[in-house]
Amino acid sequence: MAPESNPGLSQGLLIDATRLLGSFLRHLEALSGLVGVESREAGQRAAKFVVALIAAAFFAVFAYIFALLFIVSVLALVLRVWWVWTTLGICVLHVLAVLGCAFYARNQTGVKWFPATSEAIRRDIAALQGTAHGSAVPVVVPKS
């Protein structure tokens, strides 16, 4: 007997498909609940991590200041100069470091950060513009 002619078989298949869909949806619901719980836990962990990083940065700044004070004192004793001059020397070194970082950052502004992604988006936009005008062939847009 052909499966199309047996109404019991088609009803059973429909019932089984409905049960499978229901089971799948219950599984997705359970997964979404698990994701919710884990995302809350991850948020708490991230907050603790950020607080620890801020505390570490705070203490690192103080350690750096005390290390500089130590270096200034040692240089003043070794060179037998007034501590103000060694402090000025350390300040000049820091200003030079700031200028070097600023120069590096200025040179990085012209560099594209995501060249492959930019190129892919440019090609997609060009293809969409080509198909929007009735053309099925993507239009090649030259780089500017």
Residue spans of the domains in the chain: they are 7-111, 112-144
Q: Which two tokens stand for residue 23?
A: 């089971």
What is the per-residue pLDDT across 43-64, written as a single tens digit (0 to 9) for each?
899 999 999 999 999 999 999 9
Which of these, 115, 116, 69, lies nearest to 91 by C-alpha position?
Answer: 69
Predicted TM-score of the model (pTM): 0.50
How far apart are alpha carbons 67 and 123 in whole angstroms?
54
Residue 3 has pLDDT above 80, yes or no: no
How far apart are alpha carbons 123 and 129 in whole angstroms?
10
Q: How much of the chain, in percent, has pLDDT values that exceed 90? A: 47
Q: What is the pLDDT of residue 1?
A: 45
What is the per-residue pLDDT across 74-101, written as a single tens digit (0 to 9) for each?
999 999 999 999 999 999 999 999 999 9
Using a 10 angstrom Cβ sphere, with 0-12 exposed, 13-18 middle and 19 or more buried, the burial of residue 68 is middle
3-state SS, residue 114: coil
How far apart are alpha carbons 21 and 23 in whole angstroms?
5
